[in-house]
Amino acid sequence: MRPYNVEIFTQDFEMVGNTNVNEITYKEDYLSSDGNTVTVLALPGVKKQDYIRISRGSEEYAGIVTEIGYGTDKSKKLQTISYKPLMELLNTDVLFDVDLQGQGSMEQFICDRIKEMFIINEDEMQNIKGLSVSASTATKDWSLHITPSDKGGHYNIVNLIDSVIIPAMEKYSILVKTKLDIQNREVQISVGRAAAGIITIESDLPNIIKKSVTIKQVSADVNKLIIYDAENYANTRIYYLHPDLGYDTKDRDRIVPVVCEMQAVSHEEGSSFESAAISAAHNKFANLSYSNLIELTMMNGDALVKPEELEFGQVADIISDGESYRSILTGRERGKNTKLVFGTVRLDLTKILRRQENG
């Protein structure tokens, strides 16, 4: 088996050094800021924020160096390089104009936020050299249900990844993909919808080496939301979550036992309590249809599932023990085998997920 080539470049795309490793394990989670490590013979001059590219044939991974550690093995000086996916370049707060929701396309909105923060920013030191961004699809009539902050007019400050990029994938299957193009001295970002359609995966077939299916128990979570108008507590709206994970104000087809939560919402002058209540209910109950964690391990290059061809945001019906579960691809791990991670639930409570409440 050919070794992996490990290359380090400055943010000016100048090579710092390169070496080889025999094996790597690579994990990427669209919902979290998890990183990876690779241990190599020490390369002089490696710094935080350098680019790293690991490749073997058509297999390629790129990221941002976050930490460098040193050690020795049989008198050889070793270096452990920690790195995160290139998406971390976009981990920043943005000023979100809530009135822009529904205008133009969701993809172009994301592109514009990236441009204003990292390409045409008035602070030239903040701009990322060689960064380019383009939209490949155009999703109209979009909304992330982000509301203005108190006394914020029609603005709110939100994290670009937490509150925009991840919800765009969950709600519209819009992906933000990155590519490190050293030859052209570019970091290319493309924004567009994932492949259309729903695939079916039979998890009980012999090609699935290992599986784990965790379904979130909706009955144990909030299923009744009472929303008060902070300006006048006599105004209320009650939303009910139903067994099919839909939600509305109709008192029918209820989940028991009832788990109730209360919220008070504010709304700016000119907007209605009803619209603020709708947004609060969306923040509480939206995306529960993917509230599961399904992990499937298979051989690299599996001919049935074809894991290398699947993109984050791919919706799948996964058949397990005669039951069908709809989920969405949100993570992968590749080493001696490939593990695909579906769903928006994570069991490791110590992991810092990017998922946050909008606004």
Q: What are the residues whose beta carbons fall under 8 Å from the beta carbon of 322, sequence distance 6 or more?
A: none
The angle formed by the CA atoms of residues 162, 168 and 173, to the nearest 5 degrees, is 135
Distance, CA of 308 to CA of 337 (rounded, Å): 11
Which pLDDT value is given to residue 285?
A: 82
Both tokens assigned to 12? 């000016």
Task: Indicate the domain borders of the chain.
Answer: 4-86, 91-193, 198-216+291-342, 219-287
Interatomic CA distance for residues 86 and 63, integer angstroms: 5
Dihedral angle of Cα 145, 149, 152, 157, to the nearest 10 degrees = -80
One digit per residue, the tens of pLDDT, for the chain of length 359 reads 799 999 999 999 999 999 999 999 999 999 988 899 999 999 999 999 999 999 999 899 999 999 999 988 877 899 999 999 999 999 999 999 989 988 999 999 999 999 999 999 999 999 999 999 999 999 998 888 777 776 657 888 899 998 899 989 888 889 999 999 999 999 999 999 988 789 999 999 999 999 999 877 655 589 999 999 999 999 999 999 887 677 788 898 899 999 999 999 988 776 788 878 887 887 788 667 688 899 999 999 999 999 999 999 898 999 999 988 889 999 999 999 999 999 988 876 434 344 443 33
State both tokens at 316. Answer: 């799948």
| Chain CA centroid to CA 208, Å | 25
Cα–Cα distance measured from residue 64 to residue 180, given in angstroms and rounded to the nearest whole number: 10
Residues in the chain: 359
What is the distance between the alpha carbons of residues 159 and 37, in angstroms, rounded to a whole number?
A: 26
Helix (H/G/I), strand (E/B), else coil: 67: strand
pLDDT value of position 244: 67
Residue 63: per-residue pLDDT: 97
Domain 91-193 carries which CATH code? Answer: 3.55.50
Taking alpha carbons only, the member of 146, 129, 118, 124 closest to residue 11 is 129
Please tell me the predicted confidence (pLDDT) of residue 277: 87
Asked if 38 and 81 touch (Cβ cutoff 8 Å), the reply is yes
Mark residue 35 as left, alpha or beta (left: phi above 0; alpha: psi -120 to 50; beta: remaining).
beta
pLDDT for res 150: 63
Predicted confidence at residue 149, as pLDDT, reads 72
